[in-house]
Amino acid sequence: MTHTLVITGANRGIGLEFTRQYAAEGWRVYAGCRQPERAEALNRLAAASDGRVSVHPLDVTRAAHIQALAAVVGDAPVDLLINNAGSYGPDDVRFGHTDEAAWIENLRTNVIGPMKMMEALADNVARSELKRIASLTSKMGSMEDNRSGGAYIYRSGKAALNAVMKSAAIDLAPRGIIAVLLHPGWVRTDMGGPHGEIDAETSVRGMRGILARLRPEDAGSFFDIDGTLIPW
């Protein structure tokens, strides 16, 4: 049986690697990104996929984009929804120097967008065989792990995403859906920078291993890249 993935932020880095790896295993992938016309690597992957990968305009802060993608998916079962699209925000955020508009925009991308994606596709996920939703978060959203301060916008956005996913995991569990949070590690990507500890291929293989082993009792868990639990 062919499985189906819907993924946001698929044009580069971790999202592109998720798309590549799942497509290589025969999955049908709906790959969303904000500017498909500029997603050269993703478009090449789609062209070589024998129809397994399709590319769709998807800015998760725009309701019309989410609705349009949901319409394309139709009634098809979605085994896995990955909320990968995210934003770090301004680099110079520090106490006494925060930008309200940038903060609100970050929350729209990192928190509200994933929620609206889940709301749009929950019925599709519930109809599937695997019934899984994963949102990419960060240890920087952990209260206990925060020993360096700063990063107000990014930390608060990921902490809010964690709260959203925890509630969604509880609400969706009666439908057989397992919703979890994944920390991808410090990855060498445009967002993670060149000094990351692992590359995107290693990160994605680790997260895919976690997703493959999920049990109903894992719903709402906050996983590190090695499969251990991160404290809230």
Residues labelled catalytic: 138, 154, 158
CA–CA distance, 44 with 41 (Å, rounded to integer): 5
Mapped onto helix, strand or coil, the DSSP state of residue 90 is coil
CA–CA distance, 75 with 162 (Å, rounded to integer): 28
User: Measured in whole angstroms, how far is the alpha carbon of residue 5 from the centre of its chain?
Assistant: 11
CB 100 within 8 A of CB 145: no
Mapped onto helix, strand or coil, the DSSP state of residue 180 is strand
Q: How far apart are the first and last CA of the chain?
A: 37
Q: Tell me the two tokens of residue 39.
A: 């997603």
Of 116, 154, 102, give the one whose Cα is nearest residue 32.
116
Of 200, 199, 212, give the one whose Cα is nearest residue 16.
200
Beta-carbon count within 10 A of 72 CB: 13
Residue 18, classified by CB atoms within 10 Å of its CB into exposed (0-12), middle (13-18) or buried (19+), is buried
